[in-house]
Amino acid sequence: MAVNLNKPELWKTDICKSVDMYNDWFMKFAPVAYRETRIKTTKAVEETLHKTSNLTDVKVKLLREHPGVLPTLRMSTCPPIAVDRLVGLAGVSKNLVGCMEEGKLPPRMPAAALEGELEKIGTIIEKMADPDIFVWLQPRRDPTEAEVHRAATIVADRLCGAVANPIIRNAQEKRQLAAIGAWLEARGYKRLPEGIKYNAMPPGTYSFRLNVPVKAEGGVTSINIPIDTAVMPRTAKPGELPLMIEAKSAGDFTNTNKRRKEEAQKVNQLRYTFGDGVRFILFLCGYFDSGYLGYEAGELIDWVWEHRIDDLAQFGL
């Protein structure tokens, strides 16, 4: 039974309420999430400064043992160096820089070549280190503890600014899952640990971040599809699939329309594997306009607005 996908006369009102709810959350809690991440990042930057003798000695040994410091080092220059720019400036392998951004080194790169390219990277970082942030570099002297902390905070701001959207998105996802969990717990549902199999959930239980294996195109191989929340209704019969809920939030209308095909692809893979009886819905908060809703409705994907979370009950919960 359709709950919201077949009621376009309600969409405009719900869109406005959803936008208001997201904006209210953003104003109250997004700065907190950002600050918490910045505090952690500042400590990590301070550790990097310590390892590099406060950016005066970017050793090959350091880069080899701690390749994950590269993003911090890139944000420590004037101007900050983008990944591709560093590749060009240092004349090093793009694969090497890409691996270091992920905290690792290319496993097959010859040792001599690796040593030479890491030295080039270190030279560029030292040469372009921002003297307005690292005030002890020109003229060279020992920094005070306050100067190191101030510099680390600035670099942390640069790092967090580059990933601000993921920080906010992760905080919002945690909040949405907490809201679903609280609603279910209030109705007697018990949470199962992550890693439980979708077909091993007793009635009256739920789990977050469940992997469901589906057939890939052609049906020869299988892949895992991550499901934010899976709920096995109390009235479920043996062999019944759980209700699968995808938590979605958005801070603007543009990104939602770019991402709207993701849900359709996921549900089509589920239907290809398990048949048309698959129950997959969205849990929405934020900027989802009529174009997005119409697209999802066309794919027979229903949804629950977070500001009307009690609609979950209409899906047999």
Question: What is the distance of C-alpha 300 from the center of its chain?
Answer: 26
Q: Where are the chain's structural domains?
A: 8-31+165-315, 34-164
Note the pLDDT of residue 315. Answer: 92
Q: Which two tokens stand for residue 264?
A: 């359709």
pLDDT tens profile 139-197: 888 898 888 888 898 888 888 776 667 777 888 888 999 999 999 999 999 999 888 88
Return the exposure string of 56-91: e unless at least 16 CB atoms fall within 10 Å of the residue's CB, then b. Answer: eebebebbeebbebbbbbbbbbeebbeeeebbebbe
- What is the four-CA torsion angle of 39, 44, 50, 51, rounded to 10 degrees? 180
Q: Is 211 helix (H, G, I), strand (E, B) or coil?
A: strand
In this structure, the strands spanning 205-215 and 222-232 are: antiparallel
Note the pLDDT of residue 219. Answer: 59
CATH topology of domain 8-31+165-315: Trna Endonuclease; Chain: A, domain 1 (3.40.1350)
Dihedral sign (CA 164, 165, 169, 170): negative
Which residue's entry shows tokens 């009256």? 204
Contact present, 152 and 42 (Cβ < 8 Å)? yes
pLDDT tens profile 48-91: 898 888 888 888 888 998 999 999 999 899 888 888 899 998 99
- State if pTM tops 0.75: no
Note the pLDDT of residue 218. Answer: 61
Note the pLDDT of residue 161. Answer: 73
Q: Which two tokens stand for residue 53?
A: 């003798």
Tally of CB atoms within 10 A around 29: 14
Q: Which two tokens stand for residue 297?
A: 């409705």
The residues, any chain, with a CB within 8 Å of residue 113's CB and separated by 6 or more, are none
Helices and strands counted in the chain (H then E): 10, 6
Work out the pLDDT band at 285, boundaries 50, 70, 90.
Answer: very high
Of residues 147 and 220, the one with the higher pLDDT is 147
